[in-house]
């Protein structure tokens, strides 16, 4: 489900709808937090102690910067999003 962001980000949301979805492989993730620090939309939070990554699909614009910076390729940008919601 994609939520609209009001204001200037509305156009960005419409483009993001067509880009698919960020998918997360928990087995590959080392919880380093690089993806969260790279995310300009603050859509990712990482808790290394709890070994959890949370992705807010409502804030994510699917720019792919988190995918590029991930050292373990735990994040991917899928054109056909799975039914799994993180």
Q: Which domains does the chain possess?
A: 7-78 (3.30.70.20)
Give me the torsion for CA of 64, 26, 80, 83, rounded to 10°: -130
Over residues 14-25, mean pLDDT: 71
pLDDT reading at 78 higher than 70: yes
Q: How far apart are CA 45 and CA 54, in angstroms?
A: 5
Q: How far apart are CA 13 and CA 18, in angstroms?
A: 9
How far is CA 1 from its chain centroid? 14
pTM over 0.85: no
Residue (of 21, 30, 41) closest to 70 by Cα position: 30
pLDDT reading at 2 higher than 60: no
Look up residue 24 and give its two tokens: 């997360």
Q: How confident is the model over 51-66, as pLDDT tens digits?
A: 999 999 889 988 999 9
Between 20 and 32, where is the model more confident?
32
pLDDT reading at 10 higher than 90: no
């Amino acid at each position: 489900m994609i939520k609209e962001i009001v204001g200037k980000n509305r156009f960005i949301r419409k483009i993001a709808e067509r880009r698919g979805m960020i998918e997360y492989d928990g087995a590959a993730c080392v919880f380093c937090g690089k993806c969260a620090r790279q995310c300009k939309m603050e859509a990712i939070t990482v808790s290394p102690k709890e070994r959890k990554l949370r992705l807010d699909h409502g804030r994510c614009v699917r720019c792919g910067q988190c995918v590029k910076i991930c050292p373990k390729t735990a994040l991917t940008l899928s054109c056909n999003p799975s039914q799994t919601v993180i």
